[in-house]
Structure 1
Amino acid sequence: MSDAPIVLDVGGTRFKTSWTTLRSVPGSRFDAIASGQWLPESDGSYFLDLDPKYFDRVLNHLRCGASLYAGLQSWERTEVDRLRICLHLVSRNTTSIPSWDYVSCGAGLEITGHERVVAVHHKVRSMRFARGTTPCDQFCVHLTANGNVSDVALGFTTIEGFEPQYDKVQYGMVAHCWHHQRVTRDEVRGACFQANNPHSDSFPPDMDLLVKWHRQSHTLSITCDATDVSFSIIFPAPSATLQLYPVVGLLPVRTSSVSDMHAGHGPQTVHNTSIEASLVPLPESTA
């Protein structure tokens, strides 16, 4: 049976795969088909009353571990999540996704998408911050910018003394995020450290960024496997047992550089500009 093909009729669209593929995640609804609890149609296919739009992503994920969410907007990720939940597909990778904390969310930020998406759509005078609900040493985030340039801070913070209205990215990097352009690192800063960054490392838009804290070297790194790009910064050594939480800062602005903003020139707020940060599954190699 394991190598035999099977035909699924998903909302009127037919998909052909193998029993091995369907049974790669124990406890899913496909187990009911394999056990005989789910009877086939007269033509031998198995009917699932679901939207077929993202079902090919599910099959690719089951076949080879391909990302369910790569290249999708936040609302599309929500639809894929609904499909995954309907099929009872709960894997190690999907359960590792953290969430943003409502309680620590700064004024002007909105949290949606099962607490995995934080966005700012309104004019704010200064960067607003949101902290994750649970401590971890790595998380993956997907930035989406609309309109003009926005400032983004990514990194980690402690739970003690965190203030969502103020700069509390104790171990983080600040970057610009441009619509249809690149996310460029302008400045890195953290506890007992602040300096202009002379480099021009950058990431393309709409890509998953892996943010990781390396405890042994007390180094923060942000990488993008899709473009083989990475940068990092070393910070003064904190306590080895310090619990760190994911943190993001968002500010839609129009300014020449982040350093100009801190120099006191002040950003010029842009109308119809928004920025959002979506927490997504960790890459297969790190989960």
Structure 2
Amino acid sequence: MTTLRKETVQRSLSGSLDMLKLFSADFMETSQAIKDQLDLLERKEQAWRELQLRIQRNTVAAADAITLDVGGVVFKTSKQTLLRVEGTYFHAMLGAGCWQPDGPANSYFLDLDPTHFDRVMTYLRTSELSFDGLSAWECRQLRSTLDYLNILTPRDLAMSKPTPPLIQWNPHACSSSLVLLHDQRTVQKAAGAGRSVSNAVVGTTPVDVFSLRLDEFPATGNVLGKIFVGLAPSKGFGVYSYNPDRCGYYVELRHGSVFGQDGTAGKPYATGFKTGDVVTVRRCHRQIHFEKNDQELGVAFELGHDEGQQDLLLFPVVSMYYHGATLTLVPSPPKCTNAAGQL
């Protein structure tokens, strides 16, 4: 019996020793794998630091005046302007050391359409990007150029940040002649005659800023036709009422005039909007102003002391009068400007 016990204990100890050796081998293998990963990471970090230093040296060594040959059209600017926005094509062009100004007059050649490249240069200089006067196709071409150059617009930057709660249209505060689509973010005029010539919809939540894209915006139609976009309090607002002169603050998109409950009626403010444009409505510093394709149009309304209180809730609204369109809520740029239109 004693011998049997000894053999049992011996087998148990032997098995435990084998398991310990196996665990030890696994541990050593895992440790080596971790060490290899850390070594690889360290080499990558070193390579990245060396690349950053090389880019810094190359950009410092680059000429202060840069000539660009854009599709055969010459643009001259400063190195400082081209490097003003981080992470663009121009940082790689001047810093990587892979491109040399080997074109006429020591120019860098860019195989791009030069037609609206001046707008790109203006954006790099001033941070103001204008789509004014461009057709929908030209807007797409300009955005394609910006994408090629890896230049982010204010709207791109806004969309890259954490998404705020989505604004939606309220189906319970909507004319029966309007149709809500795409998770209640798109509003369009229903086909056929409605019960009223004035049809409106209100957002589900009060806001200080919202933006709308004009998906379909007919340039022709009833001469009395108007599309109003703005902010309004819920009290006194009617989905079948003509609200612009009695409840809220609006820009009329066909003609660019403004209307408000302060007595403003048809005051000239901006040029009209068209299909593809984005209109932003913003309340800031007791003022209401509008933007067209992220371009500040100036202060439209000065709110009085009582109206400017924080507890006055204003809702996004669209009102269609003798006219129809399709408009979709889109993310708004985050900036808030003062009366001078400055950040």
TM-score under structure 2 length normalisation: 0.50
CA pair 80-104 structure 1, distance change in 2 beyond 3 A: farther
- Structure 2 contact 228–318 (Cα < 8 Å) conserved: yes
Match of 2:301 in 1: 231
Q: Which of 242, 246, 249 matches 1:173?
A: 249
Point out which structure has higher relative CO (alpha carbons under 8 A, 6+ apart).
1
Match of 1:162 in 2: none
Amino acid in structure 2 at the alignment position of 1:222: H
Distance in 1, Cα, partners of 2:81 & 2:305? 45
3-state secondary structure, aligned to 1:146: coil
Match of 1:7 in 2: 67
1:34, distance to aligned residue in structure 2 (A): 1.2
3-state secondary structure, aligned to 2:80: helix
Q: Percent identity?
A: 21
Residue 34 (str. 1) matches residue 105 (str. 2)? no
1:96, distance to aligned residue in structure 2 (A): 3.4
CA pair 182-41 structure 1, distance change in 2 beyond 3 A: closer
1:183, distance to aligned residue in structure 2 (A): 1.8
Residue 152 (str. 1) matches residue 228 (str. 2)? yes
How do 1:36-51 residues align onto structure 2 when only pairs under 5 Å count?
36-40=96-100, 42-43=102-103, 44-51=106-113
1:39-84 deviation line (CA, Å, top 9, x unaligned): 2364243233333222111111112333333444555434333322
Q: Which of 115, 128, 150 matches 1:66?
A: 128
CA pair 93-203 structure 1, distance change in 2 beyond 3 A: same
3-state secondary structure, aligned to 2:131: coil
Match of 2:270 in 1: 204
Residue 87 (str. 1) matches residue 160 (str. 2)? no
Q: Which of 213, 230, 239 matches 2:283?
A: 213
State the aligned residue count: 242
Structure 2: gaps of 5 or more residues? 1-60, 172-177
Distance in 1, Cα, partners of 2:206 & 2:264? 31
CA pair 102-232 structure 1, distance change in 2 beyond 3 A: closer
- Structure 2 contact 212–327 (Cα < 8 Å) conserved: no
Q: Which of 187, 208, 220 matches 1:137?
A: 208
1:202, distance to aligned residue in structure 2 (A): 3.4
1:24, distance to aligned residue in structure 2 (A): 0.5
Judging by fraction of residues, say which structure has more strand.
Answer: 1
| Higher mean C-alpha deviation, range 123-132 or range 36-45 | 123-132
Judging by fraction of residues, say which structure has more helix.
Answer: 2
- Structure 1 contact 131–248 (Cα < 8 Å) conserved: yes
If you compute each CA radius of gyration, which structure gives the higher value, 1 or 2?
2
Amino acid in structure 2 at the alignment position of 1:205: T
1:231, distance to aligned residue in structure 2 (A): 1.9
Residue 249 (str. 1) matches residue 315 (str. 2)? no
1:226-275 deviation line (CA, Å, top 9, x unaligned): 77663244597799589977x3414251xxxxxxxxxxxxxxx5xxx657
1:27, distance to aligned residue in structure 2 (A): 0.6
Compute the RMSD of aligned alpha carbons. 5.0
- Structure 2 contact 288–303 (Cα < 8 Å) conserved: yes
Amino acid in structure 2 at the alignment position of 1:23: L
Match of 1:262 in 2: none
Distance in 1, Cα, partners of 2:151 & 2:319? 32
